[in-house]
A and B are shown apart, each in its own frame.
Chain A
Amino acid sequence: KQEVTQIPAALSVPEGENLVLNCSFTDSAIYNLQWFRQDPGKGLTSLLLIQSSQREQTSGRLNASLDKSSGRSTLYIAASQPGDSATYLCAVPPEGNTGKLIFGQGTTLQVKP
């Protein structure tokens, strides 16, 4: 059974720092991995989608990497800003790809001005 873990659960950094959020999964037979952002009381916003054949994806100050063999993905945020404060979730489809997503518990990021 696929399990997704995100470490750390919470992170507080000063503005301008580069930071890395971690996501690990137990079953390496994934189709893709998606990173989301969630602001308090809001829905999920897709940040990056990495297909199983890809090693990384970039969007602006965000870079996500995927290492299937080790069951890990990282989300790198460059030059963090207070507006980056949110909860970040990673998710993978389980074996069989029925369309369901398995989510990690999330990392809540606070960027202090």
Chain B
Amino acid sequence: DGGITQSPKYLFRKEGQNVTLSCEQNLNHDAMYWYRQDPGQGLRLIYYSQIVNDFQKGDIAEGYSVSREKKESFPLTVTSAQKNPTAFYLCASSIDRGNYGYTFGSGTRLTVV
């Protein structure tokens, strides 16, 4: 079955560490997205990529970085510059710019310890 795989499901980060969240899709979708979800704040866009080797900042990109070297993969790195990284991170994809809807992964819960 086609879908989006996010790993790990749970991730713990120590202060000052960089961590990378994985997102892989086998839907042959062109566009991929990273959202952050916090209680009471809804979903906020971090980064998005509409084609390979290209990506744009979303609304809350500070402290995060991404790469899009392959169509299937869009990893998100949470850097030490992100002061409040504890959140639920969701990866999504769409065929183009969302004209045919979006598919989401199962999420990664990141906790700072």
Q: For the complex, would chain A's binding face be called helix, strand, loop or mixed by DSSP majority?
A: loop
> Which of the segments B61-69, B70-78, B79-87, B101-109 contacts the partner chain?
B101-109
- Residues of B near A104 (CB, < 8 A) are 42
Q: For the complex, would chain B's binding face be called helix, strand, loop or mixed by DSSP majority?
A: strand
Q: State the Cβ distance, A20 to closest chain B Cβ, in Å.
A: 21
B33 engages A103 (CB within 8 Å): no
Q: Which single member of A42, A91, A98 contacts B107 (CB below 8 Å)?
A: A42
Residues of B86-113 contacting chain A, CB below 8 A: 88, 90, 92, 94, 96-107, 109
Q: Which residue of chain A lies nearest to B44 when distances are taken between CB atoms in the complex?
A: A103
- Residues of B near A93 (CB, < 8 A) are 97-98
Known contacts being A99-B48, A100-B58, is A43 close to B104, with CB within 8 Å?
yes
Q: State the Cβ distance, B64 to closest chain A Cβ, in Å.
A: 15
Q: State the Cβ distance, A13 to closest chain B Cβ, in Å.
A: 23
Known contacts being A99-B50, A105-B42, is A46 close to B98, with CB within 8 Å?
no
- Residues of A near B90 (CB, < 8 A) are 43-44
Known contacts being A41-B109, A44-B90, is A101 close to B45, with CB within 8 Å?
yes
A101 to B33, CA, bound (A): 10
Q: 1/0 per residue A38-65: CB within 8 Å of B?
A: 0001111110010100000000000000
The total of chain B residues at the interface (CB under 8 A) is: 27
Known contacts being A43-B90, A105-B42, A106-B42, is A97 close to B98, with CB within 8 Å?
yes
Q: Which single member of B96, B98, B107 contacts A101 (CB below 8 Å)?
A: B98
- Residues of B near A101 (CB, < 8 A) are 33, 43, 45, 92, 98, 102
| Residues of chain A having any CB pair with chain B under 8 Å | 31-32, 34, 36, 41-46, 49, 51, 89, 91, 93, 97-101, 103-106
In the assembled complex, 29 residue pairs joining A and B whose CB atoms fall closer than 8 Å, in A order, are A31-B99, A32-B101, A41-B88, A41-B107, A43-B90, A43-B104, A44-B92, A44-B104, A45-B104, A46-B101, A49-B100, A49-B101, A91-B102, A93-B97, A93-B98, A97-B97, A98-B48, A98-B97, A99-B98, A100-B33, A100-B45, A100-B48, A100-B58, A101-B43, A101-B92, A101-B98, A103-B42, A103-B43, A104-B42
